[in-house]
């Protein structure tokens, strides 16, 4: 039976399977309505419904786990006739939605909108108590709360008695089912709204999902604030780019702008001076997650250009088939100033190398790269030579590789630096103690090797036979003193 008592405000309620299996209320189980929504009921021994009446005019259902929804379906029945309630959602920031007025059909009306039926009822209010009514079944109905802000998490749903009801009406709520609608799409607890334009991209920050390929004839300047784009299997393609200056860029992330791009999908066709595909500069950032940056050309940085901002590459992102026109341009990415490239995975491969001075990833000045996970920078070749990651270092304060977390199997980074013989990493002993850096990095210069030196990763000439012999002699003397 319902812990709240009579469904119809009189003397009838549902009964549980402990009374009789046929026609029982499905307490403690999950049902699927004929609209495809799933509702999980509490057990019959628990408070398992919310009841709004003229005497008890308000009630709130609080979610155990707040989440993002575009709509919320509510499983309801009315008692004493069709009943109405005003409904609004409460977000985790304590703001509220506008009120919706919803209607619950009478549970015994057999209305065509019934979504779950074949339930019998039991008399519990007056004699003969416990008698079952098998003459006809009753049912449940579904109503939907819309107008929910998909940029916020819902923590509760509040119900208020509608004063237009007859005083004998009862509004019963049995369950909530959050809906991710066709217009919305979830990544990292964010809902994305449809973007249907074919020749432009948003001018206001927000969360957008492409519904088609977008072909742009001018650079998309990402608006200030936080913007998230789900490519949804489509591409952003720049046309009409000449590469003579930055007017041919596909995307610019300028000061005060923060962009995240979710795949699958790609950015292609850009051709500029500082970058081709994506230009990041100033107090700004971009996160690339399971997408592709390919088919772009830049004087400095074919795929991406970074100065003073931050680029984060997530696992599953691919940077390939980009090219640079400058001799030291960085066909995949060129980073300078105090820019930070964060590699939590991702692959740089098959970017075009036009001469021995070009590399797929070129770091100049104080730009650094932070690595964790399983990034790959390999098979970016000039003829048969590997030209992958290059650190254009002139002193110990210049570009360096920083280990930010453990590197996992599959990491493969070809590396070279201007100062050929030097420590090129920090943090190795913190996250990779006891590991051989040569299992994760390889020197692009065959005359040098990667090894440990003073607990950090080091590039230098291979040990000679005499060096190894001297070390063994020293070790032997030390052990026999």
Task: With a cut of 70, say whether residue 206 has pLDDT above it.
Answer: yes
Residue with the two structure tokens 């046309």: 239
Taking only the tens place, the pLDDT of each residue in 253-304 is 999 999 999 999 999 999 999 999 999 999 999 999 999 999 999 999 999 9
Of 143, 16, 138, 31, which is closest to residue 76 (Cα–Cα)? 143
- Residue 310 to residue 290: CA distance in whole angstroms: 17
Higher pLDDT among residues 147 and 180, named by residue: 147
| Predicted local distance difference test score (pLDDT) of residue 184 | 53
| Mean pLDDT for all residues in the chain | 84
Task: Tell whether 69 is covered by a domain.
Answer: yes
Whether 184 contacts 193, CB under 8 Å: yes
Last residue in a domain, options 179, 199, 224? 179
- Edge-first strand order for the sheet with 12-13 is 12-13, 114-123, 132-145, 71-79, 170-179, 50-52
- Dig out the tokens for 58 from the structure: 């308000």
Stated length of the chain: 481
Task: Tell whether 433 is covered by a domain.
Answer: yes
**240 with 340, same domain?**
yes
**239 with 124, same domain?**
no
What is the extent of the structural domain holding 67? Answer: 12-179
Whether 252 contacts 285, CB under 8 Å: no
Last residue in a domain, options 126, 147, 179? 179
Task: Tell whether 114 is covered by a domain.
Answer: yes
**455 with 315, same domain?**
yes
Task: Determine which of 34-48, 156-170, 247-261, 316-330 has the lowest per-residue pLDDT on average.
Answer: 34-48
Could you tell me which residues are beta bridge partners of residue 319?
A: 293, 348
| Predicted local distance difference test score (pLDDT) of residue 314 | 96
**32 with 121, same domain?**
yes
Taking only the tens place, the pLDDT of each residue in 438-477 is 999 999 998 899 988 888 888 888 865 444 434 433 333 3
Last residue in a domain, options 114, 148, 179? 179
- Number of structural domains (the chain) is 2
Task: With a cut of 60, say whether residue 407 has pLDDT above it.
Answer: yes
Cα separations (Å) of 89 from 161, 232, 351?
A: 15, 29, 50
| Predicted local distance difference test score (pLDDT) of residue 378 | 96
Task: Tell whether 3 is covered by a domain.
Answer: no
Whether 330 contacts 357, CB under 8 Å: no
- Residue 53 to residue 162: CA distance in whole angstroms: 9
Taking only the tens place, the pLDDT of each residue in 338-366 is 999 999 999 999 999 888 778 999 998 88
What percent of the chain is modeled with pLDDT above 90?
49
Cα separations (Å) of 248 from 329, 336, 370, 402?
A: 17, 20, 29, 33
- Residue 242 to residue 81: CA distance in whole angstroms: 71
């Amino acid at each position: 039976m319902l812990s709240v008592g009579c469904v119809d405000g009189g003397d009838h309620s549902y009964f549980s399977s402990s009374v009789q299996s046929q026609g029982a209320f499905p307490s403690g189980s999950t049902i699927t309505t004929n609209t495809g929504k799933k509702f999980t009921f509490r057990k019959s021994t628990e408070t398992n419904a919310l009841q709004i009446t003229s005497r008890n005019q308000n009630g709130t259902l609080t979610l155990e786990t707040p989440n993002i929804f575009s709509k919320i379906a509510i499983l309801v029945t009315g008692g004493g006739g069709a009943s109405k309630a005003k409904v609004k959602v409460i977000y985790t920031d304590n703001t509220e939605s506008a009120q919706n007025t919803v209607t619950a059909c009478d549970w015994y009306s057999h209305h065509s909108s019934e979504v779950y039926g074949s339930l019998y009822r039991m008399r519990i209010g007056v004699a003969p108590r416990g008698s079952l009514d098998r003459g006809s079944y009753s049912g449940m109905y579904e109503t939907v709360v819309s107008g929910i802000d998909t940029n916020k998490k819902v923590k509760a749903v509040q119900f208020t008695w509608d004063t237009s009801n007859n005083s004998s009406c009862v509004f019963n709520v049995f369950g909530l089912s959050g809906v991710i609608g066709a217009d919305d799409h979830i990544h990292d607890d964010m809902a994305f709204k449809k973007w249907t334009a074919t020749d432009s991209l948003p001018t206001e920050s927000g969360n957008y999902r492409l519904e088609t390929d977008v072909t742009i004839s001018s650079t998309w300047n990402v608006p200030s604030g936080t913007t998230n784009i789900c490519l949804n299997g489509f591409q952003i393609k720049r046309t009409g780019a000449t590469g003579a200056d930055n007017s041919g860029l596909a995307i610019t992330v300028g000061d005060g702008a923060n962009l995240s791009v979710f795949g699958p999908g790609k950015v292609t066709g850009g051709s500029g001076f500082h970058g081709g595909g994506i230009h990041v500069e100033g107090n700004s950032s971009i996160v690339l997650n399971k997408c592709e940056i390919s088919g772009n050309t830049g004087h400095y940085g074919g795929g991406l250009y970074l100065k003073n901002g931050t680029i984060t590459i997530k696992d599953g992102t691919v940077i390939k088939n980009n090219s640079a026109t400058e001799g030291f341009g960085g066909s995949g990415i060129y980073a300078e100033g105090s820019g930070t490239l964060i590699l939590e995975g991702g692959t740089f491969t098959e970017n075009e190398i036009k001469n021995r001075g070009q590399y797929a990833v070129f770091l100049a000045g104080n730009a650094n790269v932070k690595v964790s996970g399983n990034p790959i920078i390999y098979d970016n070749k000039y003829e048969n030579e590997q030209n992958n990651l290059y650190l254009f270092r002139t002193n110990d304060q210049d570009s360096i590789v920083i280990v930010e977390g453990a590197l996992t199997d599959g990491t493969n980074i070809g590396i070279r630096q201007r100062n050929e013989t030097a420590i090129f990493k920090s943090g190795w002993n913190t996250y990779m103690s006891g590991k051989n850096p040569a299992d994760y990095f390889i020197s692009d210069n065959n005359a040098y090797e990667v090894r440990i030196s003073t607990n950090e990763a080091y590039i230098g000439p291979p040990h000679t036979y005499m060096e190894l012999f001297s070390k063994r002699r020293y070790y032997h003397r030390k052990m026999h003193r």
